[in-house]
A and B are shown apart, each in its own frame.
Chain A
Amino acid sequence: MMEKDHKKKAEPLVSVLLPTHSRRNSLPTALSSVVRQNYSNLEIFVIRDGGEDVSDIINSFNDPRIVFIDRPENRGKAFSLNQALLRAKGKYIAYLDDDDLYYPHHIETLVDTLEDRYDCQVAYSDLYRTYCRIGPDDEREVLSKVLDISRDFDRFFTLCFNHTLHVSLMHTREILEKTGTFNEELNVLVDWDLTRRLAFFTDFHHVHEITGEFYHPVGDSDRISVLYRKDRDEYLKNFLTIRTTRPPKPWPKIKDMSIIFTMDGQNEQVQDALVSIWQHTFYPYQIYLPLEQSEFGKLNVKIPNIVTVPVESQASNEQTIDRALAKCEGDVIAIVPAAFPIRNFWVEDSLYALINSSVNKEAFELEDSTDELWAVVLNKGDLEYARKNFPHLPLRQSLKAAGIIIRRVLAEEIPFQYDQLLEQARAAGKDGNWLKAARTFGYIAEHYQNKLWIKGLAAKAFFKAGLHTQAAQLVHQVNQQQPTVDNLLLEAKLNRQKDCKSAIEPLEKAEQMLDFSFSQTCQNDPVFKEKI
């Protein structure tokens, strides 16, 4: 009892940010799920981002923890969140959209994690994707709840792909001093932009627990972010803005990459190459572009993160590199000729190997590198050492003379091994080769992370391959620890083959899970009752 009281007193304040825009139907459910958290030390910012008046809904909760920012004009999600952040006093910040839902233990789970993990300033949990059908009266009918991703933190993956929704995420307020707040120029992928910046400064801790749901309508979506995505031009502009955002330094968790461009006198290729790098590079970079003074005004590109380096017209390739190197801010340097082919992962494969290499003095040739178009990535210190000690040698020879081992990346050194195996398993299933899929999932479960989630996928694959004993063992194991609707349904199907009675329990549990949001979170709310 004493211990519990002590814990209660020590509960740090959490600021929950809930922007809303014309969703009177779903807002009560979302807000109710925050108000009914097991964790009580909250300040709950509901920010009306224009649209319908929702003050009656807010007032009906009669909860002093709710701070209502009632703004009639629509200024966008990023602006709304920033408005709340300006007033937030919590040690931690959590987010909820007005059509999503926390489970009662969501805040408590993430706070406990962050309080225990001093090395992480961000924690995130798993969420169900809740497929809903919208009825004629705008009511939602939950059709399925699927855990379609449960992925441990991988900095490279976060830089490349948006897989951590903000509904599942909590971070310290303090870290925003380093990352900055939300980018109000963006109207889509606003969350990913901040998540990506967070990854420059801290590790994230993944809690393998389902603590909420995000809404996914069947058919045409009314989600604002989805509507924006339909405007492809706008989406791409946002996407590229995010990928080229460089928060203020120092970056304790990211090695900055400087790309030194060598041009071989063919300036017309430069523009295309720069655009191509912009399109295909997800790792943070700056391009150092050696140019003669007379060429400065001629370059017609508005690409961010380009640093021009003035060079003389007669400068050799090595002199150009040395001049650029003197200006480089990066911890790692890629040296790339202008005509080098640029595609997805063109530099990141070798870069990943370099960053994770435990060997000193190693340089990695890029995969598409040839003798004519030779490109390499290496640590800045190694390059500086080689150039300082062997300035008269051509680049490659100077590296060798400095004792730097130049090699190609091996297959097992490239990033996203886990994701590649996952895709292979899924592709095998798609082709009907369920046994291969099951074995691949089994291999992933043994060698990588997210074991429970992967074991569930393996069980499903074994079932489809007709290997019911293996499927039954696996799915039972998973459901003992973290039951999901899918896995309970599978266990019931397998039990039913022997005895229908034993299938009833998992099915009833699955039905309860599907009914959860309505039966437990909302039914006692005055607003919800009135709506019914």
Chain B
Amino acid sequence: MDITQNNTEQPSGHGVPAEPRQENTTQRYEVLQELGDCHTSVGNYDQAQRCYEKAASVGPDEPGPYVGLGVVALQKNLLDDARIAFRVACRLDPDCSKAYAGMAMVAQQNGDYKSAFDMYLKSLELDTDNLTSLLGLFQTSCRMGSFVQVTHYLEAYLDMHPGDTSVMFSLAALYMKDGRAEQSQKILLDILTLDPTNQDVANLLEEVEHKLAQRESTE
């Protein structure tokens, strides 16, 4: 008798695993990438670089380590190295919002506001949550005097993160420049509820209210 003709299996059910567990092969990569990010955050750029380089060798298809290397190079003011690293990240993952944000920062540092603006926009298209790109876009917009697209992204971001006072302040400033003083006033008052001691907000609010009073008197 051929036993293999029959459906003989290791018993499953009753908690006995029917199939092997999923492979977990990303620990080393994750540890090195996290460690790189932490060292960057506390200003240990050489250690961060060591971690990112190792992470890149463990996960050669991952954009993360190259974004990290780009950030470290930016901090060291090595703009060419930073640009190369961000480009590699972009090539590995054409949808990497952080890589575009990095390239935008390099362009911004080089004074190329047009390219920086376009790349911040691209970065935000990929991830509307990217705060670096949002604030970068705001800064480059201020330099270029073009605010329409920025307003849209700031509003979208605030829908997701309603209490982010730095973005609220940027949006209030843009409304003010755009002549939408009532909307600006409302946001500034909201910020002051959250942060009553914020002097920049208080100053801008004073300016906005002055403008509103002027408008009322002319009407």
Contacts and interface: CB of A to CB of B under 8 A. Distances in A.
A516 B98 CA distance: 33
B15 A218 contact: no
A401 to B, nearest CB: 35
Contacts of A302: 1
A423 B34 contact: no
A507 B29 CA distance: 11
B30 A143 contact: no
Interface in B1-21: 1, 3-4, 6-17, 21
B4 A419 contact: no
A500 B35 CA distance: 9
B23 interface: yes
A510 to B, nearest CB: 5
B16 A419 contact: yes
Interface stretch (A230-238, A251-259, A467-475): A230-238
Interface in B24-57: 24-32, 34-35, 37-39, 41-42
B6 A514 contact: no
A335 to B, nearest CB: 22
A157 B41 CA distance: 48
B162 to A, nearest CB: 18
B35 A511 contact: yes
Nearest to B13: A344
Interface residues of A, number: 55
Task: Categorize the interface residue count of chain B.
Answer: 20 to 34
Interface string A160-180: 110000000000000000000
B192 interface: no
Interface in A115-148: 131, 133, 141-146, 148
A443 to B, nearest CB: 14
B27 A146 contact: yes
Nearest to A157: B16
Given A416-B16, A419-B15, A504 B35 contact: yes
A24 to B, nearest CB: 25
Given A131-B25, A489-B31, A514-B28, A501 B3 contact: no
B26 A143 contact: yes
B58 interface: yes
B25 A218 contact: yes
Contacts of B28: 142-144, 511, 514
Contacts of B9: 279
Given A131-B24, A143-B58, A160 B31 contact: no
A481 interface: no
Given A422-B15, A485-B27, 9 more contacts: A131-B24, A233-B4, A236-B4, A344-B13, A489-B31, A492-B34, A500-B42, A503-B38, A504-B39
